[in-house]
Structures are given as structure tokens and as C-alpha cells.
Amino acid sequence: MDLFKFFGKSNKSSKNVAKERLKLVLVHDRSDLSPKFLEMVEGDIIRVIKEYAEIDEKGLDIKLTRMKRETDNMPMSALVANIPIIKIKDNKKY
């Protein structure tokens, strides 16, 4: 296990970071979704999950990416979310 990754440090070079950012920009352009729309979706996802669990918002990573469908191998946009859960709330309603 890489301790730097475990404690939040990353050894990514600026070249790799720039490459990832460029990919993200291209995906957003191809998906025809505005940044405002994605912010609204992210806010809704966070709000709903917070009803059931305490989350680490600093570690939250929600992004739009491209992938291929398994059925016909056609490209499609996908919303990928990495949401660190601190603890599940003990609500009696579920």
C-alpha cells in the first residue's frame, strides 16, 4: 500500500494532472452538458446521500467520463462518483 496515497498525498506529475484535466474538458464538450448542470447534479447527489450517511465532502470526487457500452461497444458519457462515507446515520425510518 502506498502511504502517500493513503494520507492524501499524490505523486502525480503536473503532466499527468494536465492530461486528466484535458480529458475532463473534452468529455464535457462532447457530452453537451453545461458546468452549471453538473454542479446542480452534484449538489443533488450530495444532499440525498447526506440524508442517509455522514460523508467526507473534502474527499468527494464526482466527474463525467467517457466509456463504452458493454452491449454494443458504443461510446457514452458516464457520471462517476467517489463519495467517502464516514458513517451511516441511524435513522429509524428505514
- Asked whether residue 2 is assigned to any structural domain, the reply reads no
Q: Residue 88, SS3? A: strand
Helix, coil or strand: residue 47: helix
Owning domain of residue 67: 12-88
pLDDT at 22 over 80: no
Residue 35 lies in a domain: yes
Q: Residue 1 falls within a domain, yes or no?
A: no
Note whether residue 50 is domain-resident: yes
Cα angle value 32/28/82 (rounded, 5°): 125
pTM of the complete model beyond 0.75: no
Residue 21 lies in a domain: yes
pLDDT of the residue at 86:
94
For the chain, the domain total comes to: 1
pLDDT for res 15 = 81
Question: Does 75 reside within a domain?
Answer: yes
Using an 8 Å Cβ cutoff, are 65 and 77 in contact? Answer: yes
